[in-house]
Structure 1
Amino acid sequence: MYGLAIAVIPILMGFASWARMTLHHLHGVMRYQRLKKRVGAERYTLEDFENATHIYIPPDAQESDPSAVEEEMAESAGVRTPLFQHMDQILNKETGSRFTLLLADSGMGKSAFMLNYAARNMLRLFPPFPIMVLPFNYARLFEDIDAVQKPSDTVLLLDAFDEDATAYEDHQSRLGEVMERVQGFRHVVITCRSHFFTSDREIPDETGVTRLGVRKAGVSAILRFNRLYISPFTESQVEAFLRRRYPFWRRQERNAARRIIKKAPDLTARPMLLSHVEKLVRSQEPLRSLAQIYARMVDAWLVREAGYIAPDKEGLRRFSHAVAMDIMLNRARRKQERIPFAEIEPLAERWNIRVQGGVLEQGRVLEQGRVLGARPLLNRDAHGNYKFAHRSFLEFFFLEAFLALPPSERPVIAWSELTKTFFLGMLYDSNAVGSRNRTKERMTQFQCVDLSGMDIARETLKYVAGTGRSLRKNTLMFNDHLWAVTLTDTNWESANLQNAQLIGAHFLASNLQNADLQGSDLTGANLSGANLAGADLSGAHLSGAKLSGANLIEANLIEAKLYVAKLSKAKLSEAKLLRADLSEANLSGANLSEANLSKAYLSGANLSEADLSGADLSGADLSGANLSEADLSGADLFGVGLTGAKLLRANLSEAYLSGAYLSGAKLSAAKLSGAKLLRADLSGADLSGADLSEADLSGADLSGADLSGADLSGADLSGADLSEADLTKANLSGALLRATNITSAKLSPENLKYALQAGAITTDSDQSNLPMTELTE
């Protein structure tokens, strides 16, 4: 008897699970059919509706951004209230704004809330008001809005502004267009990813809709958005989901899910991922990143569906890649992130996906709108358009397709925050030491990648923390002594890394040609030998960065911060360095020919043996800089500050130094032949043995300067101040000295005689004795 019970119990449990799922499915179909005409649910598939309502745990809401806390995805310190209750209060108010912006990260339940909230209200015996749910990712959005009868009585729920193809181009104009169309509704709720906007300041505050009626003093005439955020799940909400997902007779699976969730905190913040936890429960390998979680779910789906709609798993993967890439490339033309059957059919034929009766055949499920299995990733809507079950799967497949393309064929497309997170996860997984599923080849080809605005150092820290390894506090990321993640010898040509946080990154010998790095933080990064030709580094932070031998030809470094950077022997010819901060940087032996260094800060910089020929240094600060043996021939140094600079044996021939500040500068043995030094300040400068032949020094201040042994033949010194200057053994033949002040200057008798004959002046009234002028042998 006991043995019989042991045998029967599993059968009964299996039957109970089957009955439970079947009843839920039938109930869902009935609810879906009732909702289709009443709330616009025909814009969603039956799968969308079932996925949204199956084991739904209502989330909380808060008025502050939960991602603004120090640890991303942690529960916010803001006040949380049940979202349904909060929305009831907003929609039942007769005063205040009629527009609400509901924000959350990807997978946190924005669409699920819309469908569940509409279902709860419209399935009531006496609904308080009619509700219409419409997705932005739909070409006929405005037609459906205009078709609503009695909009003043209707609550309009507009889902996923971030998926609107037009909003990607100009979200401000698109939102203004939408608000103009919906201003007559009782209330409008718009959902959007919080990271769709680049900063909190970009999140719209004013609706553009004018407030009607009498206003109190100080109240704006323009209605403002109510801003609301969906809170990450609490531990109790996660536990409630697990208990409903795994009844008591599946306790072992429930415990396995708990262990996975503990290791992958992203699951607790994204209810959409929780709904796929079963696929992860069956896997024994550790999860390191969000990309790995999605890869595991996608692999499970591919294995299940291969053989039903495609000959093999990889064929189905390539088909999914093709669909994702097609949707992303054509979303602007279609005005939606969906693909019509007429356009998906050629892709299906190419990858041997079976097509029958206008739908993708999947063998097991017979419903017309149900595609690719029991929990599909690709669905068909009522109008025959195909879309991924969740936008995050679209982004994951797009990224896989993008990285599989030859670099020359990669499209330039702006990436979302989630796509960037996926990419970083894939990068880390491919490089991690000890990874059991490490790719055969380390990822190296990153052309046209978009990581703009990413805090890569912080993402790295999160990944390392997820592996269970320990890190010293404030340690720079990408240190191969820590965990062997390095970007050495990688290709980032034309990649978008704008405003990225790349502190301490290792890019040794990497190709960053034409990459967009403007505003990025590369403090302490190692870019030695890297190819940055034509790269945009304007406003970038490169303090302490290693750029020795780097190729920065024609790079844009306007207003870049290169304080104490190491640029020895770097190639910077024709680079733009206007107002760049290169103070105390090491540029010894660097090639800066024809570079634009106008108003750059180079105080204390080491430019010894650097090639600055033809460079524009006008208005630059070179005080205390070392320019010994540097080539500055033909350079523009107008108004340059060179106080205390070292220019020993430097080549300044034909250089333009008019108005330059060279007080106390060391120019011993420097070549200044033909240089323009009009009204330059050379007081106290060391010009001993310097070649100043044919130089224009008219009006220059050379008081107290050491010009001993200098060649001033043919130089124009008219109006210059040579008082107390040392001109011992200087060559003044042919020099112009009209109105030159030689008071107390050290001159040989021959030079003194020549100077006076040439029109030089002295403060001594007795020209015959010349007591203020020392005659030297």
Structure 2
Amino acid sequence: MFLGLDWNDLLEISLTIAGGAFATVRWVIPWFAQRKKEGRLARSLHPFYTASEIKSHTKYFIPTQCQSKSPSESNEINRDTEPREPLIPYFIRIFEKDKDDYVFMVLADSGMGKTTFMINLYYTYHRKWQKKYKIRLLPFNAGIDEELDKIPDELRRETILLLDGLDEDPQAIEHPNERIAALLKKISHFQTVVITCRTQFFAREEDIPTALPFGSMSPTRAQRRIVTRYISPLQPEEIKVFLRKKFGRFSIRYRNCLQFIEQYKELVARPMILNYIDFLVDKAPQYQYSYQVYAQIISRWLEREHNIRGKGPGFSENLYNFSRFFALDLYHHTEHLSIADLTALQKLSDQCQVGLDLFDMQAHSLLTRGAHNNYKFSHKSILEYFLALELFENPAFAKTFKGFEGMDMLRKFYQEMVLDKIAKPFFCEKFGLENGKQYSAEEVMRIKGCLGCGSMFLPIGSHEKAFFFNFSLDKLKDVTQIDLSNTDLQDFRILACMPKLQQLNVANNPALCSFDYLFVEGLNRDLKEIQVQGTNIQAATLENGVAFVYV
């Protein structure tokens, strides 16, 4: 007995205290380690990366994996069978040994974690007690050439250089070949150089540089290759590790997120989307396209900003409008790709009644302030989403649009919007396919006529856009009535997939001039009536007694 307690009670109390102390230490030590890491990086990477950016790229970091072939060659982004290896240990080994190759390209799609990898690679090497070289990390922006020029020649041979985001370099977007050649010459005397870039920045695989266009910095380096590595998509187990770090193994949000990723494996294989998964899971609609996911991300961000700041009911709308104005301004000033003129930013902000302090936000902000007070979207794909909206909704912008070069996600978002908001409703109205199959943008754009016989062009609304429609549709085999009027129909080949058709309207299709393909191989034996006014089809007598309507 001790203090009136028997030994069993004392043992239970001791175990409880020990368990609580262990749990506290287990939480406190990682917390202090993360704070120390963020503080060290914030000091060494200032002013190129903000504290909030560093936190978002390091707090839930999952070690980046790499592979020698592009993951885009696989049918499913997170089912790639290419051999993988940890990317940071790979480069740590490279940094510490003599080698012939000293320029490396790390390629990945949008939102695949290129900046996250670079910040964590920098930190891993920077914190080593015994390291052979210095290391610098610089993002591509309007002032990168000046930053490189500041590094003395005598230090370049002792410096590892990390350059993040070649696809965001204004000069590279305008003149890629000339810029890359000049850049490789400028960095020729650094010890080792690692450059990240979007895979789609290079139109073809052959466009990816594979060798230096000049003598290497050391006569002992006989080979002058540029080595390319691709960031691997997150695998299911890596995604679960991320979710456990963020939410805890036994939380309800963790289980909800597991259900979400099971349904949308392709989306969450991108670390950027995974960072927003808590936004996506809450009130998640049935996403069918990438642009819908981005719309939800932006919607949740606006809601979050409104709640934090306690503004009036129009604040979210003003902030949304400002983001679109900001995207247009960036597009029309691509030589900067971010706004360095605070006067211009203030003017845009005043138009939407949003203060500049809005942009000093945490990791989930759409806008961040970088070096030299440059303001930009936290991810280039956010910029491309807003530009896709403008291209889809703003005819004035569409007339001045310069093309999709260097903006692969803009092209994808725009195609999805056209498909979802124009093409699908049009086809549903014409064919009664409200419950039909889901079509991808690739399916709509692919020329695939019935039985390989060709395709039909459909002008959509006032835009007069021609779409190729995939007629290999099981849903059409039971159609008995169809209205194909005013569709610029060229012939009757489409009807080969409608064997039960009874009534047909092809009015106001002047290109129709014959019944070719209408009754072949016993098809359309049940056809009873055809409306042909506004065509060049002449009256004819058919064996099955079809009635023609010319008025």
TM-score, normalising length from structure 1? 0.52
Question: 1: CA distance between counterparts of 2:426 and 2:186?
Answer: 47
* 2:328 equivalent to 1:325: yes
Question: Contact 1:288–1:429 (CA<8 Å) still a contact in 2?
Answer: no
Matches within 5 A, 1:171-186: 171-186=176-191
In the superposition, relative to structure 1, how do residues 17 and 418 fare at CA in structure 2: closer, same or farther (>3 Å)?
farther
In the superposition, relative to structure 1, how do residues 430 and 484 fare at CA in structure 2: closer, same or farther (>3 Å)?
farther
- Say what the alpha-carbon RMSD is for the aligned residues: 4.3
CA shift, 1:486, in A, is 11
Q: Secondary structure at the match of 2:365?
A: coil
Question: 2: CA distance between counterparts of 1:523 and 1:286?
Answer: 24
1:260 is aligned to 260
Question: 2: CA distance between counterparts of 1:79 and 1:390?
Answer: 28
Question: 1: CA distance between counterparts of 2:340 and 2:437?
Answer: 38
Q: Secondary structure at the match of 2:78?
A: coil
Out of 111, 115, 120, the position equivalent to 1:116 is 120
Task: Specify which structure has the bigger relative contact order, considering alpha-carbon pairs within 8 angstroms and separated by 6 or more residues.
Answer: 2
In the superposition, relative to structure 1, how do residues 351 and 94 fare at CA in structure 2: closer, same or farther (>3 Å)?
same
* 2:415 equivalent to 1:424: yes
The letter for the 2-side match of 1:319 is F
Question: Contact 1:432–1:483 (CA<8 Å) still a contact in 2?
Answer: no
Q: Secondary structure at the match of 2:107?
A: strand
User: When the two structures are aligned, how many residues end up with a matched partner?
Assistant: 457
1:33 is aligned to 42
Question: Contact 1:260–1:281 (CA<8 Å) still a contact in 2?
Answer: yes
CA shift, 1:63, in A, is 0.4
* 2:148 equivalent to 1:145: yes
Question: Contact 1:513–1:531 (CA<8 Å) still a contact in 2?
Answer: no
2:364 is aligned to 375
Contiguous gaps of at least 5 residues in structure 1: 1-14, 355-359, 363-369, 434-441, 445-477, 488-496, 533-541, 547-567, 572-585, 587-777
Matches within 5 A, 1:290-305: 290-305=290-305
Question: Contact 2:57–2:115 (CA<8 Å) still a contact in 1?
Answer: yes
Question: Contact 2:136–2:160 (CA<8 Å) still a contact in 1?
Answer: yes
Question: Contact 2:456–2:469 (CA<8 Å) still a contact in 1?
Answer: no
The letter for the 2-side match of 1:277 is I
Q: Secondary structure at the match of 1:180?
A: helix
Contiguous gaps of at least 5 residues in structure 2: 1-23, 450-454, 473-483, 495-508, 517-551
Matches within 5 A, 1:629-668: none
* 2:357 equivalent to 1:361: yes
CA shift, 1:290, in A, is 1.8
Question: 1: CA distance between counterparts of 2:88 and 2:191?
Answer: 18
The letter for the 2-side match of 1:406 is P
Q: Secondary structure at the match of 1:306?
A: helix
Matches within 5 A, 1:185-584: 185-211=190-216, 223-250=224-251, 252-306=252-306, 308=309, 311-332=314-335, 334=336, 336-354=337-355, 360-362=356-358, 371-372=360-361, 375-407=364-396, 410-415=399-404, 416-430=407-421, 481=433, 501=446, 503=448, 507-510=457-460, 570=511
Deviations 1:524-578 (A, max 9, x none): 79x996789xxxxxxxxx99998xxxxxxxxxxxxxxxxxxxxx9559xxxxxxx
In the superposition, relative to structure 1, how do residues 502 and 513 fare at CA in structure 2: closer, same or farther (>3 Å)?
farther
Question: Contact 1:524–1:543 (CA<8 Å) still a contact in 2?
Answer: no
Question: Contact 1:379–1:389 (CA<8 Å) still a contact in 2?
Answer: yes
In the superposition, relative to structure 1, how do residues 90 and 32 fare at CA in structure 2: closer, same or farther (>3 Å)?
closer
Question: Contact 1:155–1:185 (CA<8 Å) still a contact in 2?
Answer: yes
Out of 123, 135, 155, the position equivalent to 2:160 is 155
In the superposition, relative to structure 1, how do residues 403 and 233 fare at CA in structure 2: closer, same or farther (>3 Å)?
same
CA shift, 1:153, in A, is 1.1
Question: Contact 2:78–2:235 (CA<8 Å) still a contact in 1?
Answer: no
In the superposition, relative to structure 1, how do residues 283 and 74 fare at CA in structure 2: closer, same or farther (>3 Å)?
same
Question: 1: CA distance between counterparts of 2:348 and 2:26?
Answer: 38
1:164 is aligned to 169
Question: 1: CA distance between counterparts of 2:281 and 2:195?
Answer: 35
* 2:79 equivalent to 1:75: yes
CA shift, 1:101, in A, is 0.7
In the superposition, relative to structure 1, how do residues 212 and 167 fare at CA in structure 2: closer, same or farther (>3 Å)?
closer
Question: 2: CA distance between counterparts of 1:154 and 1:26?
Answer: 27
The letter for the 2-side match of 1:229 is Y
Q: Secondary structure at the match of 1:185?
A: coil
Q: Secondary structure at the match of 1:125?
A: coil
* Percent identity for Structure 1 against Structure 2: 26
Question: 2: CA distance between counterparts of 1:175 and 1:321?
Answer: 31
CA shift, 1:126, in A, is 2.8
The letter for the 2-side match of 1:67 is S
CA shift, 1:248, in A, is 3.5
Normalized per residue, the structure richer in helix is 2
The letter for the 1-side match of 2:269 is A
Question: 2: CA distance between counterparts of 1:179 and 1:544?
Answer: 58
Q: Secondary structure at the match of 1:361?
A: helix
TM-score, normalising length from structure 2? 0.72
The letter for the 2-side match of 1:419 is L
Q: Secondary structure at the match of 2:209?
A: coil
Out of 98, 101, 104, the position equivalent to 1:94 is 98
Deviations 1:131-158 (A, max 9, x none): 111111x111111111113111111111
| Greater mean alpha carbon deviation, residues 281-290 or residues 80-89 | 281-290
The letter for the 1-side match of 2:120 is N
Question: Contact 1:511–1:530 (CA<8 Å) still a contact in 2?
Answer: no
* 2:42 equivalent to 1:46: no
Q: Secondary structure at the match of 1:124?
A: coil
CA shift, 1:93, in A, is 3.6
Question: 2: CA distance between counterparts of 1:16 and 1:247?
Answer: 16
Question: 1: CA distance between counterparts of 2:262 and 2:195?
Answer: 33
Deviations 1:447-475 (A, max 9, x none): xxxxxxxxxxxxxxxxxxxxxxxxxxxxx
In the superposition, relative to structure 1, how do residues 428 and 131 fare at CA in structure 2: closer, same or farther (>3 Å)?
same
CA shift, 1:513, in A, is 7.9
2:530 is aligned to none
Question: 1: CA distance between counterparts of 2:225 and 2:485?
Answer: 51
